[in-house]
Structure 1
Amino acid sequence: MAALVAATTTLTACNSGGSGSAAGRVLTLWHYEAADSAMGLAWSQAVKDFEAAHPGVTVKVETKTFEQLQKTAAMVLNSSNAPDILEYNKGNATAGLLSKQGLLTDLTPEVAQYGWDRKLSSNLAVTSRYSNGVMGSGDWYGIPNYAEYAMVYYNVDLFNKYHVPVPKTFADFTAAMDTFVKNGITPLADAGAEYPAQQYLYDLALSKADPAWVTDYQIKGKADFHDAAWSYAASTLADWVRKGYIAKNSVSLKATDMGNAFESGKSPMMVSGSWWYGTFESEIKNFAWDTFLWPGSSLVPGSGGNLWVVPSKSGNKQLAYDFINITLQKDVQDVIANKGAVPVAANPADVTDPKAKELIQHYDTLAASGGLAYYPDWPVPGFYDTLTAATQDLINGKDPNSVLGSLQTAYQQGLNQ
């Protein structure tokens, strides 16, 4: 609880005057986006728009971290310290669990009132709707206003220096990593202490999977961690560490460490989500970079973006609904698009940045083909920490079969919660 009162920024109303019952009210909003990221900039624009439309209302923005909310959201939202609105992770283990516990407001009436369902494709709506905590159907408990997917970021200058072609097949990908290792360079930036390592594991599993496998794992509770896909993923990740594709000391690193390694030019490649795109566009000045989709796989981690949710104990629900609606308006969506993220309701003609156009085109291709496979920690409560520990074990050299056994046990226990 103490950690969640840190890093608070208060944005005061643009208009000092008040009107009606809104005068003097405060909308408390939590999110965990970097200020210079596409979403951070978009939320800032949304706050300005909201305050202009609600004279006398102050928006109190509190910046949290993903890890803080991942660990303490249920406790905080069940207390008098709950915010009025917050950005929260999607999936059964997070938004689904909180909806099942009665901690989130059912937004179904507002979806109809504001027409949000007409702006969100069925592919995006999967993670907004939950029935008894399971995503894909039922009532609406959250609204995304951006989308995301994982890709391979690569350092164009390093690829050119070592005459490495951009991989088109998985064999090409492996050959590229071999070339960097031979030249004393660790090919992949990674972070074992947070989400990146488990996404490497999931990417490898997806390369041997199909949509039915994803549905069984994510929604039906029928995962078999000793099947061909998971067995391949665990053994291959362990092998990559032995071959030097991933550094052993990455086991204790966090996501920001991984991003810094890529930004510094030390790492030729980094596999992670589109949420890094805008940050890299604004911060990388010393080398050229680009992206490609994980080669040889039709499935990648991805979905609608994090959700705006309204806690059941929110004291300003109507204001929260209005704020969500503003984040889907044109100017906010245009910020998302042109600052390096994937908007859900922007006009393609309004996207002016060439890299942004490419990012959105890749997403559209994946969404149209059913290639978005969600994220590995979603199926059951607590699985994020389980996967983090499992991938750390693999990096540390633990037997892959034993690691998969621990995942199966935790998965089954989570289904019974």
Structure 2
Amino acid sequence: MQSDLSKEQYKNSMMLQIREFGPAYSDLPTMMQNVAKLLRVLTLNIDNEYNKPIPIHCYILTIATAAAYTYVFAISAGWFVVKRCIPNHDVIGAIILFSLSISSEIGSAKFFYLYLYRDIVRKIVRQTLEFDAGIVPGSRYSKSVLQTMRKAKVRAIAFWFIIMGNGVVYVFKSLLTPGRHFMDDVYTIFGLEPMQKSPNYEIGYALVSAAVWFLCYVPANVTALLIVVAGYVEAQMVALTQELLHLWPDAVQHYQDVQFSTFTSRTNTKSRQRILNDFINIKLQDVIKRHSKNVHLLQMLENVFKGAIALEFTLLALGLVAELLGGLQNTYLEIPYAFVQVAMDCWTGQRVIDASTSFEAAVYASNWEHFDVANMKIVLLMLGSAQKTMTLSAGGVTMLSFASLMSVVKSIYSAYTALQSTIK
């Protein structure tokens, strides 16, 4: 009986842990725990509270799959281009392998930067959680943050399934094709000739499967961290916008509550203005502090990812041009893998820009004309700060936004049309 009870408790505990990865659990601590658990598989610990050693099987998995990735998409691809494509003048084959190698680097670059700046990442996680702990549960502010974070978690989940799903399709498409086929029949893995015979086929298939797992799991979870932290900054800015828009009504309500609590039916105008503006002053000071903390968090986040995102943009441009030149019939699975990663970064950046712009508008729409001179000066100071739009950038050069994404796509298409005639 006791054994059955413990099994039931274990089952319920496991189901709860799985459900916590869903959008129903969108509070920041849970979302950070979700990402931290997934990143620990890659031997990266971003949780300051997690003091246990990372299991040895995680190190074995990460090293083995990273080695498979290096062997398949770097060593073997380079060998095949030099020894087979160039001597046989196989331009299309060389382009396909080049696109595979370039596109596969996008997620790895982010992981490298995240690992390099892991101490800063832990600091970001700690400060974000401390910031969140200061929010009063059940308040309007808390509800607004939670609502925006739920949207961010849905984006992270959708991105995770798109990237991992792309890898699953890439691995299993050859099994669903009649005959014995490899993921890409255009090239041979170094040391496994002939590829179609056993055990070379089985070894090659296992190597590519392991490499693809690494290529998909890394960007899916590293980008999830970017979405969560940037999404939290966005959620805070949206909540601050709502606080500013409700500032004057809240002040009036506060004044009425004071009147009721003191059983005073009449209050002179001077006393009324003092009560209103004291309340407004406290709220404005709180908004300034929270805005400043959000700016600081976003700056730290950009310091970690800006180099990786700049490299990501460059690799995307090179990879997509090569994929288009190689023919969509050969690269139709590579294009969404590369494009979705950059598109999600731009979407994340655009959400932060939109939230920052809304905050700026809310500062001016806060009914400041009813405030006293001291509070008006504070609003003027806030307006100057709010006009500096909060952004994420690629290397500090290009803002992450829909406009920059469209600009990159336009440049890629221009390069493709220019090179297409040359190859033909």
Using structure 2 for the length normalisation, give the TM-score.
Answer: 0.27
Structure of higher RCO (CA pairs closer than 8 Å, 6+ residues apart): 1
Higher helix share: 2
Higher strand share: 1
Structure showing greater radius of gyration is 2
Using structure 1 for the length normalisation, give the TM-score.
Answer: 0.27
